[in-house]
Amino acid sequence: MGEIQQQEIELGKGAKTELRTQFAALCYRIKDGKVQICLVTSRRTKRWIVPKGWPMNGETPMDAAATEAYEEAGVRGKVHVRPAGVFSYSKTFSKDELPCLAVVYPLKVKKVLKTWPERKERTRKWLPRKKAAALVDDPELSTIILNFKPKTA
């Protein structure tokens, strides 16, 4: 993929921030009437995360979340129009910390693939909501996972 270019966000009266936006997928399925969440490991630190990535030209935020779900977790499904929440975190680039805001879109998984682009770089795991929330480092993401309650019918 090419170089990511994002404009700085204006906070009024000319103030700017280095804040960047990413789009994430809260991939889920209903198994035996219970919600399961799909987590993947990050490439570098192997922490448990949800698939997320940068905005892409020509894609809506929902589409970008669905693309990340496919590339990072090997799942395809239907993305909800309404985000489940937003969380902030710091992304490390070389020696710099870049503040990021991730908009999380629920994605009801319809297909779990055996092969996908990043399968050799990440581990995929399906977990009950409470266990998934406990595994992720970010408290805001943990809260989003715990509060996410799709229809189980």
CATH number at residue 106: 3.90.79.10
How many structural domains compose the chain?
1
Q: What is the pLDDT of residue 2?
A: 44
**Structural domain contains residue 132:** yes
Q: How far apart are CA 62 and CA 95, in angstroms?
A: 31
Local confidence band at 1 (pLDDT 50, 70, 90 cut-offs): very low
> Is pLDDT of 153 > 80?
no
> Is pLDDT of 111 > 90?
yes
Q: Is the dihedral of CA 137, 138, 143, 146 positive or negative?
A: negative
**Structural domain contains residue 59:** yes
φ, ψ of residue 145 in degrees (nearest 5): -65, -45
> Is pLDDT of 92 > 80?
no
Q: What is the pLDDT of residue 9?
A: 47
> Is pLDDT of 102 > 80?
yes
pTM value? 0.86
Range of the domain at 111: 17-147
**Structural domain contains residue 12:** no
**Structural domain contains residue 89:** yes
Point out the least confidently predicted range of 14-23, 76-85, 102-111: 14-23
